[in-house]
Amino acid sequence: MSQRLWTTYLMCWIAGLACGSVASVVPTYLPTIAQRLVGDSLGVQAAELGSTVQSMFLFGWVLGGIALGLVADLRGRVPVLGVALVVACLLTGLTPYVSDTLAFGVIRLLTGMCVGAIMVVSSTLGVEILPEKRRPLLMGILANSYAVGIVCSGALQSRALSYETVVTLFMLFTVPALVFFTPFVERSQDRSVKKQQGTISSQLSQSKREIAIGATLFGCMLITLWAAFSWLPTWASDLFPGTDGGAGVRGSTMMALGGGGIVGSLLVAPVVHWIGRVRGILTCYIGVIIGSLFLYGVTPSSASTFVATIAAMSFFFGMSQALMSFYVPELFSAVGRATATGLCLNIGRFVTALAVLQIGLIADALGGFQQALLITSSVLLIGIAVIPRAISITQHR
């Protein structure tokens, strides 16, 4: 790989780090944000605010992943990536100065659009610039950047830094983002927009089965992941309030989610080389099912066991996300790959946004977050049912 390709890869990793940070900072600091916006830190109003804000973020992610994925195919991957990263950081830095819940939600919607674009375009770029033999390892490292961002949010929360201070620090990601506008990164070739639009439409029409399989496998796991990501910190505060109102265990929970994901994403390469892509996905599904049954069905009695269980489950979350980051783009040809990948990843994410919204709204009716999270995890069975179809596609490629 040339220096320009390595620079592009590094910038994609930093962009993923920023995405994990700006995405996780709101659920990590949700009680603090809720207290400021609605005057309720852990009650019903806080749950409703968290549901609404997180769902708007995910809806934005869907819109950005699809719409800006198409723009990336038409106008080039790198410019879209650079602009989206700068805007996401700046919008997050504005949130402490917003006192209206609707305005806060709109900002998170726009931030989600930028994050969605970054995740789709960086995965597409990774598949296109990395050599095939080294792709599982390097894409695993690229995928762990998002988990590192989650760990950053959890670590800063654990150090009792204020929300205002943390989001201000995250604005520093705009500095390396400026590299995207220099000649030191790889750029897509200019194309005729009119001709490319027709080609993309034809490619999508021929790839309906691949989009359906990829969206189902990615979406079912994502629903369970985002349910945990959005609500485990708040549930942890309720289970183990302690003397600090649960702030410490919230931070530990986010660090466990991120730390387990990092380890899982780094180990994706040997797993893929050993059992292949699709069987690796099946392994992740089984691991998350076992973890969900123990965490939501049994409920660990101590905070340390609770956090350890989350770390074990997030290991398989991280591995699945790393694997999907190159499995999905590989299903499609270079022409229209960002658009197809954006559709594939974000159809499932749209359903995820609905599911995350419902968890907060029905948790009280079901007797708490535990029952709601357990029911949500049942969608993993749908993903397992699709595995034979995915194996069939792999065998015929």
Task: Sketch the domain layout of the chain as residue ranges.
Answer: 3-179+196-395
The pLDDT assigned to 359 comes to: 67
What's the Cα-to-Cα distance from 187 to each of 65, 75, 76, 340, rounded to whole Å? 19, 10, 7, 20
What DSSP letter does each residue of 305-316 carry, written as one string?
A: HHHHHHHHHHHH
Q: Which residues 6+ apart lie within 8 Å of 91 measured at CB?
A: 107, 110, 111, 114
Instruction: Count the Cβ atoms, other than its own, within 10 Å of residue 132.
Output: 9
Let me know: does 372 contact 364? Beta carbons within 8 Å: no
Q: What is the DSSP letter of 293?
A: I
Distance of alpha carbon 338 from alpha carbon 120, whole angstroms:
7
Angle between helices 3-28 and 208-239 in degrees, nearest 10: 40
**Residue among 2, 113, 99 at smallest CA distance from 58:** 113
At 192 the three-state DSSP class reads coil
Distance of alpha carbon 297 from alpha carbon 390, whole angstroms:
30
| Number of residues in the chain | 397
CATH of domain 3-179+196-395: 1.20.1250.20
Q: Which residues 6+ apart lie within 8 Å of 269 measured at CB?
A: 136, 137, 140
Q: What is the DSSP letter of 298?
A: I
Let me know: does 160 contact 32? Beta carbons within 8 Å: no
Instruction: Count the Cβ atoms, other than its own, within 10 Å of residue 326.
Output: 24
Let me know: does 80 contact 72? Beta carbons within 8 Å: yes
Q: Which residues 6+ apart lie within 8 Å of 312 measured at CB?
A: 260, 287, 291
At 351 the three-state DSSP class reads helix
Q: Kindly tell me the burial class for residue 171, based on how many C-beta atoms sit within 10 Å of its own C-beta (0-12, 13-18, 19 or more).
A: middle
Let me know: does 255 contact 155? Beta carbons within 8 Å: yes
pLDDT in single tens digits along all 397 residues of the chain: 778 888 888 888 999 999 988 988 888 788 788 888 777 666 667 767 777 888 788 889 888 988 888 888 777 788 888 899 999 999 999 988 888 888 988 999 999 999 999 998 888 888 888 887 888 888 888 888 887 887 788 788 777 778 888 888 888 888 877 777 777 676 654 444 444 555 767 766 677 788 888 888 888 888 888 777 777 777 777 777 664 555 667 777 777 877 788 888 888 888 888 888 889 999 999 999 998 888 887 776 777 888 888 888 889 988 988 888 888 888 877 677 778 888 888 887 777 766 666 666 666 666 666 777 777 788 889 989 988 888 877 665 5
Instruction: Count the Cβ atoms, other than its own, within 10 Å of residue 45.
Output: 16
> Phi and psi (nearest 5°) for 120?
-70, -50
Distance of alpha carbon 56 from alpha carbon 26, whole angstroms:
12
| Secondary structure string (H, E, C) spanning 108-151 | HHHHHHHHHHHHHHHHHHHHHHCCCCCHHHHHHHHHHHHHHHHH
The pLDDT assigned to 42 comes to: 61
